[in-house]
Amino acid sequence: MVLIFKNNNPSNNLLLFFYALILKIPSFLEPFVPTADSMDGFLYRVILRRLTELDIPSIFPVLSFILVYAQAIFLNRFVLTKRLNQKASYLPGMALILITSLIPEWEQFSSTLIANTFLVWVISRLCILHNNATPKTLIFNIGLSIGLSSFFYFPSLGFIILVLISLIISRPFFLQEWLLFFIGIVIPYYFFASWVFLTDRTNNYQLPVIKVTRHLNFNNSWYFLAAAAMIIGILAGIYFIRKNLLRQLVQIRKSWNIIFVYLIISALVPFINNGGIRLDYWILTAIPAAFILAPAFVYPQKKWFPISLHWLFVAIILAFSYLGLVN
């Protein structure tokens, strides 16, 4: 599969659909019905309540599949268009499918999965800030996207730090741009507060409590196998990125720096929680991890390494799906 997706062939997007479908079949066989958590936002709770009322459990894995596949297609298009990798391929999308299939909780419909859909657009815009013709509009829209994503997963407000660091990396300091960013974040809350006040529902809604926690709600040692595979892939990706970085334009180097910051922050955001941390929260790392994992499939001249890495991921996915290692 690595050699197929390594080719710059538009039909690979269709092949990616069937590839994702095969890896995610188990999620369709035993549909998981999610429940709202204390950190889930208002819009996610509304959507979840409406979907639960339909009493069609299979709708949740279908929606999850659609979101992940759409993110993979967008990721492929962005990496190809901006030439983040020296070799054009459809491997970033494949990497995202692999990562989101690696842990069963990452195949479930969740607020963090929806937030990822906003964040994949945000990171794509942050990587083009340096030469955008209308930076103020773009920065405002980025703030708006962060604000909207928090209506699904409230701690995604933590990605404000990512945007601020990206502005420092990409652009000179302009106070007006920073103010526009924060205005974009506040606007969804302004309209929501206005609606709550005008409909006399002020006693029905309150913002989640911000608290940093270290309590993890999982204890299955088999997850460390999946984490080890992901870390190996990320470290290999970082090695090949750094090896080829000097051959790329300054703008591309800045983009990779932003993606590295994205990975770090996405690993820390789940700790912004007033309850225990669940595994599905860490799906926030899937997008930056896919960016970084793809070069580990793209650059190696010896074919055995990317092929072995791919089948390592697939073997873990199949083991979790069919051997009951995570039950």
> What tokens were used for 177?
């741009």
Q: Which residues contact 179 (CB under 8 A, 6 or more apart)?
A: none
Instruction: Give phi and psi for 87, each to the nearest 5.
Output: -110, 125
- Tell me the CB-side half-sphere exposure of residue 248, using CA atoms within 13 A: 19
89 domain-assigned: yes
46 domain-assigned: yes
Separation CA 15–CA 5 (nearest Å): 9
| pLDDT digit string, tens, across residues 81-124 | 888 888 888 999 999 999 999 888 898 999 999 999 999 999 99
* pTM, entire model: 0.91
> What tokens were used for 206?
């309150």
Q: For residue 71, what pLDDT is reported?
A: 96
State the residue range of the domain holding 272: 2-322
Q: For residue 227, what pLDDT is reported?
A: 87
| pLDDT digit string, tens, across residues 151-172 | 999 999 999 999 999 999 988 8
Separation CA 180–CA 175 (nearest Å): 9
Domain count, the chain: 1
Q: For residue 325, what pLDDT is reported?
A: 59
pLDDT under 50 in the chain at which residues? none
C-alpha angle 177/134/139, rounded to 5°? 40
C-alpha angle 304/307/309, rounded to 5°? 105
Q: For residue 59, what pLDDT is reported?
A: 94
Q: For residue 223, what pLDDT is reported?
A: 80
327 domain-assigned: no
Q: How distant, in Å, are the alpha carbons of 3, 40, 65, 150, 181 from that of 47? A: 40, 11, 17, 14, 27
261 domain-assigned: yes
Q: For residue 52, what pLDDT is reported?
A: 92
134 domain-assigned: yes
On whether the CB atoms of residues 125 and 162 are closer than 8 A, the answer is no
